[in-house]
Structures are given as structure tokens and as C-alpha cells.
Structure 1
Amino acid sequence: MARYFTCRYLWDMGAAKVIVDVRDGRVHSINTDPQPLDAYDFALRASAATWREFAKPVPEPMYHGIWSASFRRDLKIEGNILVMMQNLRNFTVQFELLRKVGVPV
């Protein structure tokens, strides 16, 4: 589905931060202890409560996707979002996997 999707993105969950490195559409590595100078292309930043709502199997209204939360809740999308927009479907699938595996906050 996204064989040209190559980037690094940060999920900032307050106390926990994760950098996911995607190469050619596959997750290459997950950095669960990123340092301040670790590189990434774009970031999604939100409170721990927002991430917990995202991770519910059936989230409350306005927590069902990144766009709704960025308009009405505390989610911020920062950085070079062009790569995210070019591969939005694949990124959305990866994001929605949080509902199966949970979040570390």
C-alpha cells in the first residue's frame, strides 16, 4: 500500500515519546527513548488523556482521528506534514493500530 512511504515521526504523549522509523512502507525501528536531538519529520503532540482516548476500541467523539482531535482537542501536528499527507492512508492505518496495542501512558 505504501511502498514509497519513508519517514520518521514522533508521537509525543507527554511523559512518553516514541519515534517510529518507517522505510519503504514498513516499520524499521521504534525508538521508545528518544533524545532531544533525535531527528524526525513530523510530530503528533497531545496530552496523555488524549492518547488514552485515541487508544480505546471505540473512542469518544472528536477522538476518532487525528484531524478531529487537532481541530477540537489538544492534538498538535508539527513539522513537515507533506510526507504525512502524501502517505495519509498508510499513516492512518499505523495510527489506528494504537487501538489494538494500546498506548504507553
Structure 2
Amino acid sequence: MVMSVRDWAVRFSEASDRDPTIGAMARYFTCTYLWDMGLAKVIVRMVDGKVHEINIDPGPMDSYDFALRASPETWREFARPVPEPMYHGIWSASFRRDLKLEGNHLVLMQNLRNFTVQFELLRKVGVPV
């Protein structure tokens, strides 16, 4: 059963804000990014290492620094406790699967370590697709 985007946003926000690694090193983790999961799109706005807002119904004019776009199947595989090879991270999936990275790659790189820890939280909270 797929959880609602609203329920997912609450779970993800709480998991991120409570994560000890993010808490320890994300003081300057400030950016806005889009996760396009095909059936669901969310814009996450981070400010100083905390989830400031999750827009669960973004419009076409809502802005973000960078985006990750992939099929629902790819997102579901990312969220497995032990993903299959080539689904274990954004780089492998962007080289070999259907993940697309768009937008300001500099902002992604400046926040990559914290973003990666946050991305891996999907293995705990799941995805809304």
C-alpha cells in the first residue's frame, strides 16, 4: 500500500530533522530541490540543515535549485532497505537507469554530502509512489 504524499512528507521531515548525521554536519545545508517521482512531485526546502517546507503539490512556476526525475519504479527501488545494484545512489542510477539530474549542479555539489544522507533516508521512510 502506498502512503499519501502528505503522510510521507511528515515522515520524511521528521526523519531528516532527527537524523544525527545531518544534525552534526548540515549547518549550511540550505537549498531547494524537486523530487519528481512520476506519480508524485515534491519540492523540499532546506534551511540550515532543517526541513523548512515540503511542497507536496508544486505548480509549474514553483522554483527549486535542482531536480531528480525518475520513474515510480526507480524511486521504489531506491527506497528498498537494500536496493538492487545501480539503484543504490543517484550517480549510479543517473548513469545506468532512468534518473535525470537537472538544474543547478553547483548547488547540488555544495550540499552533496548532506543531500546524500537525506536521500538515503528514503530507505527508512519509503516513497509516496
Which amino acid in the other structure matches residue 83 of structure 2? P
The alpha carbon displacement at 1:61 in A equals: 0.3
Correspondent of 2:69 among 37, 45, 55: 45
- TM normalised by structure 1 equals 0.97
**RMSD across aligned positions (CA):** 0.6
| Higher strand proportion | 1
Q: Unpaired segments of 5 or more residues in structure 2?
A: 1-24
Q: Which residue of 1 aligns with 2:104?
A: 80
Aligned residues: 105
The reply to whether residue 20 of structure 1 matches residue 39 of structure 2 is no
List structure 1 segments (4+ residues) > 3 angstroms apart after TM superposition.
none
The alpha carbon displacement at 1:89 in A equals: 0.8
For residues 1-105 of structure 1, the aligned pairs below 5 Å read 1-105=25-129
Deviations 1:36-95 (A, max 9, x none): 111100000000000000000000000000000000000000000111101111000110
- TM normalised by structure 2 equals 0.80
